[in-house]
Amino acid sequence: MFSGDPILVLILVCAITVYGSGFVLLTVWYKMNCKEPKPFSFASASSTFTRVKFTVDGLRGIMDYKHNIRNMSVIAHVDHGKSTLTDSLVAAAGIIAQEVAGDVRMTDTRADEAERGITIKSTGISLYYEMSDESLKSYKGERQGNEYLINLIDSPGHVDFSSEVTAALRITDGALVVVDCVEGVCVQTETVLRQALGERIRPVLTVNKMDRCFLELQVDGEEAYQTFQRVIENANVIMATYEDPLLGDVQVYPEKGTVAFSAGLHGWAFTLTNFAKMYASKFGVDESKMMERLWGENFFDPATKKWTTKSTGSATCKRGFVQFCYEPIKQIINTCMNDQKDKLWPMLQKLGVTMKAEEKDLMGKALMKRVMQTWLPASSALLEMMIFHLPSPATAQKYRVENLYEGPLDDQYANAIRNCDPEGPLMLYVSKMIPASDKGRFFAFGRVFAGKVQTGLKVRIMGPNYVPGEKKDLYVKSVQRTVIWMGKKQETVEDVPCGNTVAMVGLDQFITKNATLTNEKETDAHPIRAMKFSVSPVVRVAVQCKVASDLPKLVEGLKRLAKSDPMVVCTIEESGEHIIAGAGELHLEICLKDLVDDFMGGAEIIKSDPVVSFRETVLEKSCRIVMSKSPNKHNRLYMEARPMEEGLAEAIDDGRIGPRDDPKVRAKILSEEFGWDKDLAKKIWCFGPETTGPNMVVDMCKGVQYLNEIKDSVVAGFQWASKEGALAEENMRGICFEVCDVVLHADAIHRGGGQVIPTARRVIYASQLTAKPRLLEPVYLVEIQAPEQALGGIYSVLNQKRGHVFEEMQRPGTPLYNIKAYLPVIESFGFSSTLRAATSGQAFPQCVFDHWDMMSSDPLESGSQAANLVTEIRKRKGLKEQMTPLSEFEDKLITTTFKDDDYYHYYYYVFCADIKLFRLLDWILRWLVFWWNSWRLRSLPSSSSKEYILQGLVERVAIIFYNTENVPLERFIFKLFVNQSYGAKVEEADLEFSLRSFLIKLPLSETLTKVLPRDCRWEITVYFRSLPQASTSKDAELWIPTDTKQWLQPPLITPVKSMSSEPICVQLYLEHPSLSEPKL
């Protein structure tokens, strides 16, 4: 077969199976002998060298031509042929040989990708392609020469790795959507299309695995056309559903050249443009008219040589696509497979296809593959479709800037992105971190949207939690090296201008998953929006070291794992457990393998069974406004919870509504789509958890002093509470918390974060528990393809797993049925194996996270399914099995209001106690007030009381309970706030009157919380705040008590003004003193 040096031949034979002939031959010969290569003769492989058609310097040169760049992703459902098809595009650039395209899977760079036959990580590769002058005649876009740079990213198709698709789409402008012509549009096809259109990515479509129609199904032309038409229609329905007005019409049409038909395994493809050019010259018609006739209701009758829009019924009258595209391909394939070479060569000669001498000896599939690759090369058809119909960065960034940039859309950074300006400030988005060959190091892979990044450049790194004007999540570091990603290799370049993808070295210690980069001095720049993922990390597993000494390796390995995957979440529970959360079982399996093999050096770990993340929500509005007091008892927060409007949580998840939106724009969406009051919509304090989650806090207060000072503390408490709900410390979802009122201490030192943050957390928990709390469980959308005889087994398994079918239909042209069902994620473990066992291996499920479903049972009802789940979760997290009761979070107060002569408002809050104590206090109060006259107002001269009242100063009434041995048991303080409007007259007896009224009405209302002994007595003392000018020494002297017998010194308090518009407002309420107040 080969002639030459036997050692070299041995190496060459191994290399041909991986890389193809020629290219490796040149490399190996040069390395072994350092001489010019000698020719070899091949019996079954090409003797010509497949040289790389570009140099790194050449690629770098094209990067400056922003109109000649195409950034695109290849997206599809799993096993629809993305990576195989990508090989043909890579072969066009000369990186691999054409003969092995489809077998090498150049973009599958991991060993486990080759073993499993699926793509796990998205991989970028930059391709050089030179368009012919003939092809460019019909190109109307702006360009600079014939050379094009295609920055291609091959992404996974399995739903568990959807985050990789999101990361790829963020840094590209176009997408090649690959759909299996037999399986059609599947569940993941819709998912990736929705993601693409959400990022304003323009799609083109290829109907792949077309060879199955000829070799496997052997369908006739009309049936094949109807199958292709259904695939295109289904894809267009999805595109029309999620289209963006700024993108215009994103639907694909074969007659416009935005649909290709391909066979990735055999390396051939075509668009109607290919056949239209061929037949236009033959028929002497316009190429565009010919394209229109090759699709749709256009029929050609060779007998009459006329086109019609309806079939005449004649056997010779066939649809244009069938007559001029499908049947010629079918004839060529059948001739090759039947080894009818005497017929084949004349046919190829008419088509202008020339075969090499050694290729004419091929037989069967090998011959068919080579003939079709030569006649209809996939690389030419697909690359030309991308160049013609996908936008350049200069075009795409004009309409993508609104989705990308968080700052003002008229500042210099937005304009630089919009114009793809290489001279503007650097704006670069890192979408993922890629592990390097050096253990523990990572490449930062992303896209330059404006400016230019170069080796040695100092950049500002703005992480996902960065807020403009603050230093949180902000770093300034230097780029050590810039590289171009080339699949399994990287090529170093000095710099990369805007419009291109780039990988950088030296930033991995400061970027966790993604970040925005700009120049060091660009302090006014806002970051690029964070990505929104279509799946959630709902499946979790706990890991621990088999050998305790490996714990440092585990901790460091988890950090690296979190950096390497856009979706995985690594956390440490309060119990000390290390938790890894992923999108599904397969995702977790891959993460655990990476953790052990790549990030822990092979150290063994022990993993628990997978568990599911839940969410906590509420069913209805809180039954009452709840209140919690700060630890020092000087501050009160009043709040209630309610469920969000339907669809609002999803809008927040999708990024349509977020914390960094323009408040006016956000208010408009909330008012028009969800029925919010516009003014209320502008008073949203925050979203959470993690500042972007589907819960929010809304300010409903009016005229509260110092409210802005505690806002940050309330937000911090909310972030804490929404991340760890009251039921089982799971994330909250879909709850709107309304701050109804706030009572704050006038002294800032008494209303700091240490007082307000835990209070906010407690009142949020209380409002959640009073609003009928519920658990939300994650639900998969399951798509199953199976023959009719397997349907019984499918329904049986789904019923056992709490799943329910909502759609069943037969796939036209096939014996397969397509079943769609909802399946709780908690029931999905082992579902695939159970389903295969029940259907004898005939059913193949695909699960994708779809939504959160509210469990019908009440988690507060003992013995219910939800309550049992809460108990299990709490046990797993090391918490108390019993939930914390509402009384631990709520300081339950009841408000009563009364008026006298329309001048006074009396608000007093009293604690609840049993009825016996109520009667006792009632009797004691009446006895003290009417018979003993226990309040001692007379000790303060009435002539001076008017001055204090006019100043609006604060008075207190203290009630102290003693036992029979004269030992104080409990004390309560009644504050009295008196304020006067301008021009109003206050009588000297007003204060005494208000105190008398209050003490008389006290025993008639609710009683105290703490049950006091029966044998107790109580005394009352009144304190007045002295005038400021009367102060001569210490603060204690500002108090003038009526009787100092009860305390060594009076409690400190500052004035609080009433918001009442009436001349005088007296507020009386019960306050239990804090430990910080003077002791008895």
Statement to judge: residues 219 and 312 lie in one domain: yes
User: What would the two tokens of residue 865 be?
Assistant: 């399914």
Question: What pLDDT score does 875 carry?
Answer: 87
- Run means of pLDDT, 10 residues per run, the chain, 1080 residues: 38 37 32 34 31 73 91 90 82 67 66 76 87 79 86 86 90 94 86 89 93 85 90 91 85 92 89 88 82 88 83 79 90 88 86 82 86 88 91 93 90 93 94 84 93 94 87 91 85 92 91 92 90 83 88 90 89 82 88 89 87 92 91 89 92 86 88 88 90 91 83 92 92 94 85 90 94 93 87 90 88 80 90 87 84 91 90 87 89 45 29 44 51 34 38 50 57 50 40 47 38 48 45 42 33 30 36 38
Question: What pLDDT score does 821 carry?
Answer: 93
Statement to judge: residues 376 and 427 lie in one domain: no
Domain count, the chain: 7
Statement to judge: residues 581 and 679 lie in one domain: no
Domain-terminating residue out of 771, 788, 803: 771
| Cα separation, 765 vs 861, whole angstroms | 18
What CATH number corresponds to the domain at position 570?
Answer: 3.30.70.870
Beta bridge mates, 628: 637
Question: What pLDDT score does 810 carry?
Answer: 83
All residues at 6 or more sequence positions from 763 whose CB lies less than 8 Å from its CB, including other chains: 626, 627, 628, 637, 638, 639, 889, 890
Decide if 533 is inside a domain: no
Give 193-197 contacts, CB < 8 A, sequence gap 24+: 193/75, 193/235, 193/238, 193/239, 193/242, 194/238, 194/242, 194/534, 195/162, 195/165, 195/166, 195/169, 195/534, 196/73, 196/75, 196/169, 197/239, 197/242, 197/243, 197/244, 197/247, 197/250
Statement to judge: residues 429 and 345 lie in one domain: no
Decide if 400 is inside a domain: no
Domain-terminating residue out of 802, 825, 855: 855
What CATH number corresponds to the domain at position 235?
Answer: 3.40.50.300
DSSP string of 684-749, one letter each residue? EEEEESTTTSBEEEEE---S-TTHHHHHHHHHHHHHHHHHS-TTTSPPB-SEEEEEEEEE--SSGG
Decide if 394 is inside a domain: no
Overall residue count recorded for the chain in this entry: 1080
Statement to judge: residues 492 and 548 lie in one domain: no
Domain of 1027, in residue numbers: 894-1071
Statement to judge: residues 717 and 782 lie in one domain: no
Decide if 525 is inside a domain: no
Statement to judge: residues 725 and 841 lie in one domain: no
DSSP string of 280-301, one letter each residue? HHHHT--HHHHHHHTSSS-EEE
* Structure letter (DSSP) for residue 529: P
- Burial class (CB within 10 angstroms; exposed 0-12, middle 13-18, buried 19+) of 924: middle
Decide if 86 is inside a domain: yes
Decide if 437 is inside a domain: yes
User: What would the two tokens of residue 360 be?
Assistant: 């004419």
Statement to judge: residues 358 and 414 lie in one domain: no
| Cα separation, 784 vs 843, whole angstroms | 6
Statement to judge: residues 372 and 510 lie in one domain: no
All residues at 6 or more sequence positions from 772 whose CB lies less than 8 Å from its CB, including other chains: 618, 619, 620, 858
What radius of gyration do the chain's Cα atoms show? 38
Map residue 343 onto helix, strand or coil: helix
| Cα separation, 514 vs 532, whole angstroms | 12
Helix residue ranges per DSSP H, 749-885? 753-769, 791-800, 831-838, 865-876
Decide if 880 is inside a domain: no
What CATH number corresponds to the domain at position 624?
Answer: 3.30.230.10
Decide if 865 is inside a domain: no
Statement to judge: residues 625 and 677 lie in one domain: yes
State the Cα angle at 335 between 333 and 338, rounded to 5°: 105
Statement to judge: residues 564 and 498 lie in one domain: no
Statement to judge: residues 376 and 412 lie in one domain: no
